[in-house]
Amino acid sequence: MPEVLRGTGVSPGVAAGPVRSMSGAVPEPPADQRHAGDAHAERARALAALDAVGADLEERGAQAGGEAQDVLAAQAMMARDPGLAGLVTDRIDDGLSAPRAVYEAFGVFRAALSRAGEYMAARVADLDDVRDRAVAVLLGVGAPGVPDSDEPFVLVARDLAPADTALLDPAKVLAFVTRDGGPTSHTAILARAMGVPAVVACGDCMDLRDGTIVLVDGASGEVRPDPTEQVIADAHAAAGARAAALDVTTGPGATADGHRMPLLANIGGPKDVEAALACGAEGVGLFRTEFLFLGRTTAPSEEEQESAYRAVLEAFPSVVVRTLDAGADKPLAFLPPPDDEPNPALGERGLRLFDSHPGVLTGQLRALARAADGLDVALHVMAPMVADAAETRSFVAACRAAGLPRAGIMIEIPAAALRAADLAAEADFFSLGTNDLAQYAFAADRQIGGLARFQDPWQPALLDLVALAAGAATAAGKDCGVCGEAAGDPALACVLTGLGVTSLSMSARSLPLVRAAVAAHTLDQCRRAAEAARRATDADGARTAARAELPGLEPLSL
């Protein structure tokens, strides 16, 4: 094991603790795997495994309570289904091994569920999870999913799906380290929201053994196995001193010469409100509503949505809510895309999904209008993944019909930035989603760790697209914020200010650094930094050129 493992630091802070790995996919038992001849013993083994899985799921449900308990109880019933047991024993009687027999029996159920309509098809993932748990017991390998642990740990995984992380206990997770994922992957976004250090694209991390103590530095991207007590103490002291220096910066965002730059928070639901307020967010620039409903197999009721939205709208003077952005990196079981999409990131996702589920959009808009009713809040509603003026027009019309007066769009597709003037004529405001804009501009999937360099928001091509959209919005007299992760980089925040954007929205914990960086420069300096960055020919060149124009970053050691 090397002395230091290197990845991309995506959520600052340091933490040390024992590794717990998230076990990967359970292997499919070979199709010709047969038992040694004692069918009676093999049957007993298979049924005991299914029963153990059922009991384990019930126990987890009892611990979790609430809605998770219903989902886990339904899974426990699948494990104990007598029809399934019959299919298993038939196969064992034909000579198949217990793991293979269980695998095939679930396959029969799976095919039936897939054919049984949208709601049942959404249960397939739950069924696969039960199958993997039973096969894992029989093969003697770890069960899939986030590990259980009584003590806090550093979670190491290939990657984390939003559904894995939704149920994480923040008190237990000291840091995240993943082999895949880039700076804008949902592991990164979640880690920043939780205030937990995280390193992604760390190629060797799956070689770390469970129990090894590691020191994770979420700023530098270093993961150090078996650090000495002194190394851990030094790292904590340095991180603490930096955080203390920044804690003193509060107040509305503005450049040194008073040009206002509202600093807003990206949130995933009411649970993030407290941190946003504590970090001095002036409002919410991106409320990712799909985060409220991850792991749900049925659409949330309008009443349930209304109460979640109201809890956020009550807390801020201004909130930008994004309608459900399902698909690709943010799958929602109750809004599934067509089965056979070869490239989900280029498929029916975001706003496009509502073409086949129009009622979900109108329901969400109605719930939003009701949630804001009677509150003193400027509610802005925007759609993700908008491609052209026609989509903009129909989304704005849907908002107006629901009584929502401020309707905007995210600029995440290069075509939308290129023709931003057409879209600005239809929308009330823009918000630049630089994460997806980079993904689509560079044709590089944001979830692939090996392509993380294409997610670097300093790339001059991305800055050009930002300039185009901001320029068109200014010409039309409309606001154009940035809510992608680019806004949380202090130097880049100054460049974005110079490019003409009108607000910056980011993970709450990035706000103090960005506030300090913007306050340390004049608008003219920001403009010069933006011009210098766009003259560069690559991301590193842009970063260096911009920093040379931003002398105020040095005293802040940013």
Residues that bind ligand PEP (CB under 6 A): 184, 286, 288, 325, 412, 433-436, 483-484
483 binds, among Mg ion, ligand PEP, none (CB under 5 to 8 A by kind): ligand PEP
Helix (H) / strand (E) containing 257: none
434 binds, among Mg ion, ligand PEP, none (CB under 5 to 8 A by kind): ligand PEP
Query: Tokens for 140?
Result: 């003697």
Q: Which is nearer to Mg ion, 177 or 319 (CB)?
A: 319
The CB-of-492 to Mg ion minimum distance in angstroms stands at 17
Backbone angles phi, psi at 51, to 5 degrees: -65, -40
The CB-of-391 to ligand PEP minimum distance in angstroms stands at 16
Stretch that binds Mg ion, among 2-10, 177-185, 242-250, 426-434 (CB under 5 A): 426-434
Catalytic (active site) residue 202: no
Long-range contacts of 529-536 (CB under 8 A, 24+ apart): 529/491, 529/494, 529/495, 529/498, 530/463, 530/467, 530/495, 530/496, 530/497, 530/498, 530/499, 531/498, 533/458, 533/460, 533/463, 533/495, 534/460, 534/463, 534/464, 534/467, 535/460, 536/460
CA distance linking residue 108 with residue 87, whole number of Å:
8
Query: Tokens for 230?
Result: 């002194």
The CB-of-331 to ligand PEP minimum distance in angstroms stands at 13
The CB-of-287 to ligand PEP minimum distance in angstroms stands at 11
Q: Which is nearer to Mg ion, 17 or 433 (CB)?
A: 433
Residues 433-452 that bind Mg ion (CB under 5 A): 433, 436
Catalytic residue among 202, 399, 483, 494: 483
Residue with tokens 């939704």: 166
Q: How many other CB atoms are there within 10 angstroms of residue 46's CB atom?
A: 27
CA distance linking residue 276 with residue 253, whole number of Å:
14
Q: Which is nearer to Mg ion, 52 or 345 (CB)?
A: 345
Catalytic residue among 186, 357, 380, 521: 186
Beta sheet of 14-21, edge-to-edge order: 5-6, 222-225, 213-217, 14-21, 153-157, 173-178, 198-200, 8-11
Q: Which is nearer to ligand PEP, 132 or 412 (CB)?
A: 412
Q: Which is nearer to ligand PEP, 286 or 496 (CB)?
A: 286
Q: Which is nearer to Mg ion, 153 or 287 (CB)?
A: 287
CA distance linking residue 80 with residue 324, whole number of Å:
35
**Contact pattern from residue 367 through residue 406 relative to Mg ion, giving x for each residue in contact according to CB under 5 A and a dash for the rest:** ----------------------------------------
507 binds, among ligand PEP, Mg ion, none (CB under 5 to 8 A by kind): none
Q: Is 285 in the site for Mg ion (CB under 5 A)?
A: no
Closest to 533 measured CA to CA, from 514, 518, 553, 549: 549
Catalytic (active site) residue 480: no
**Catalytic positions:** 186, 483
**Residues near Mg ion (CB under 5 A):** 412, 433, 436
